[in-house]
Amino acid sequence: MRQQPPPATKKNNGKEPVPDYLRMSSRPAMGDSVEVMELYYRERIQSFTKMLEHLNVLEDAPEIEFLCREIVECRTMLVKLAAKKKYSA
């Protein structure tokens, strides 16, 4: 006879609660405007930085490596957008 998992409470409906640092502050706004893309990449860097604050080097090395690569890519895109913004005026 198998044991059934405890019934889900109304509050979380059987789902694990998502920590605050994993929640996105806002949905990414996609658009062709340089300013919109710049804002998108800045928000991504902020969210990745928040995630990094909650990770431990000894336990979460792969996640830290991934987040650092993502931050570097976002910064690269911001540099490209700044150059595009400078020349599109």
Res. 66: pLDDT tops 90: yes
Integer angstrom CA distances of residue 1 from 4, 21: 9, 40
Instruction: Say what the pLDDT of residue 33 is.
Output: 84
In which band, very low, low, confident or very high, does the pLDDT at 86 lie, cut at 50, 70 and 90?
confident
- pLDDT at residue 25 in the model: 53
Percent of the chain scoring above 90 in pLDDT: 45
- What is the residue whose two structure tokens read 């990094």? 52
Q: Residue 45: its pLDDT value, please?
A: 95
Residue 28 in this model has a pLDDT that exceeds 90:
no
CB 36 within 8 A of CB 29: yes
